[in-house]
Structure 1
Amino acid sequence: MLEVKNLVFAYPGQEAPWNFNFTAKPGQCIAIHGASGSGKSTLMNLLAGFLEPQSGDILWQDKSIRNHAPWQRPMTSLFQEHNLFEHLSVDANIGLGIHPGLKLTQENQHAIELGLQSVGLSSFGSRLPGDLSGGQRQRVALLRAILRKQPVLLLDEPLTGLDSDARDLLRQLLLEQKSRGTLIVLASHDQEDRQVLADSVCSL
């Protein structure tokens, strides 16, 4: 279980700090909903370890992870900026999520091939990110996050910029991840995404 307990944060000069509280179980999706500037991305950064809260705690399976570095947390993040390496192929970008030194087994390489098929990009492995559309880049970034196989997925507007067919495809992919026990924290302004994916909604 993921527990966020009285997690307080404010940027310099911010008059009223945010105070975040929620719990979610493996296999669930909790959607974070709120207007622009309400703290959705801030909460994601706090969970990922990119921001340090003033007080409060984050627990995973009853153990605090608040003081853990980002790479020590049981989480994979996908933010609005896709953060693909422009000089590396699609295959290599995804492979970095599996092993930072790209020491990939045949099983890893097969997983990448199957993953690209699942997101409709089976022939794109050798291409560079600059050759992809924004929606295609988003699919690559989401696939990289999923193939890291961490128990928690932090997704900040993951389906933005996709056409309806691609959105349906990736929603199904995320539902499959839930069925395998992945806990998803989803920040999304899209009501349909929340309706399809979320078990509960946290409004900011």
Structure 2
Amino acid sequence: MLRLEDVTIRQGDFTLHASLSVPAGARVAVIGPSGAGKSTFLGAIAGFVPVTTGRIDWDGLDLNARSPSLRPISILFQDNNLFPHLTAFQNIALGLKPSLRVNAAEQRRIAAALDRVGLSGFEGRKPAQLSGGQQSRVALARVLLRARPMVLLDEPFSALGPAMKSEMLHLVRDICAQTNATLLMVTHDVNDARAIADNTVLVADGHAAGPFPTADLLDNPPPALRDYLG
């Protein structure tokens, strides 16, 4: 279980408070007005944003003292975290070995991950030679290969068309179900939240609150969310 206990994040004149728990294996959307701190909330869990006070805990493990690389987390940002000078195979291999020195068994695992996301035969292509959807699949293959218990998504599919985005969301859902990973996904699209997340954290007015049942929250939004949704 992920716990944020009396967490305060301060960045200049911006402050965000959070006290909440997310069960292991849950799929949770993170929504709220623009500038409310959704990415900051995710960044604190991942370790990229420092916590001023409080504790972030995963199954009894204090994450505050751990660097991002040592947290049980895989994260995808809007740019998919791909290195342009590396091939699809090499970008995925980074999930196993930063040195890229993978043995035969690891090479087979990478090939299996590529196959799982429908990219067999694309191993040697660099990101510039891939479509936006294919780049997203490479990034997801790396997440699949790492098999971390938490997956954080910061709108990685926002630039995709509706059909491709829907396909990627279904793939994320299947991968998280396969690995029993806990998913937290920042999105501005309430349809994405409805499609993939049973529960939702609302970030607004300086607080991250919830998780709330997604359908209930979106069907009967509080004032801060109602104003944002229009």
Between 1:91-100 and 1:163-172, the stretch displaced more is 163-172
1:84 to 82, 85, 109: 82
Question: What is the match of residue 193 of structure 2?
Answer: 194
CA distance in 2, matches of 1:59, 1:131: 40
Question: In 1, are the aligned partners of 2:79 and 2:156 still within 8 Å (CA)?
Answer: no
Q: Tell me, what secondary structure is at the counterpart of 1:97?
A: coil
Cα distance, 1:164–1:109 mapped onto 2, change above 3 Å: farther
Larger Rg: 2
Partner Cα distance (2:144, 2:116) in 1: 12
Shift in Å, 1:162: 2.3
Match of 2:139 in 1: 141
1:1-204 counterparts in 2 under 5 A?
1-14=1-14, 17-179=15-177, 180-204=179-203
Gaps of 5+ in 2: 204-230
Aligned length: 202
| Alpha-carbon distance change, 159 to 25 in structure 1, aligned in 2, over 3 angstroms | same
SS for the counterpart of 1:66 is coil
Contact 2:87 2:124 in 1 (8 A): yes
Contact 1:2 1:23 in 2 (8 A): yes
Seen in structure 2, the aligned counterparts of structure 1 residues 117 and 162 have a Cα distance that, compared at 3 Å, is farther
Q: Name the % identity.
A: 34
1:174 to partner: Cα distance: 1.9
Q: Contact 1:146 / 1:153 at 8 angstroms: preserved in 2?
A: no
Greater CA drift, 110-119 or 145-154 = 110-119
1:191 CA displacement: 1.7
State the TM-score, normalized to the length of structure 1: 0.90
Deviation, 1:154, is 0.9
Cα shift at 1:19? 0.3
Distance in 2 of aligned mates of 1:100 and 1:124 = 21
Distance 2:159 2:107 in 1: 28
Secondary structure at 1:98's aligned position in 2?
Answer: coil
Work out the CA distance in 2 between the residues paired with 1:55 and 1:195.
32
Q: Deviations over 1:45-76 (max 9, x none)?
A: 11111111110110110232111111111111
Residue type at the aligned position of 1:182: A
**Are 2:80 and 2:156, in contact at CA under 8 Å, matched by a contact in 1?**
no
The whole-number CA distance in structure 1 between the counterparts of 2:19 and 2:108 is: 40
Q: Is the 8 A contact 1:9 1:19 kept in 2?
A: yes
| Runs of 4+ off more than 6 Å | none
| 3-state SS of paired residue (1:136) | helix
- Which residue number in structure 1 is paired with residue 213 of structure 2? none
Cα distance, 1:103 vs structure 2: 2.8
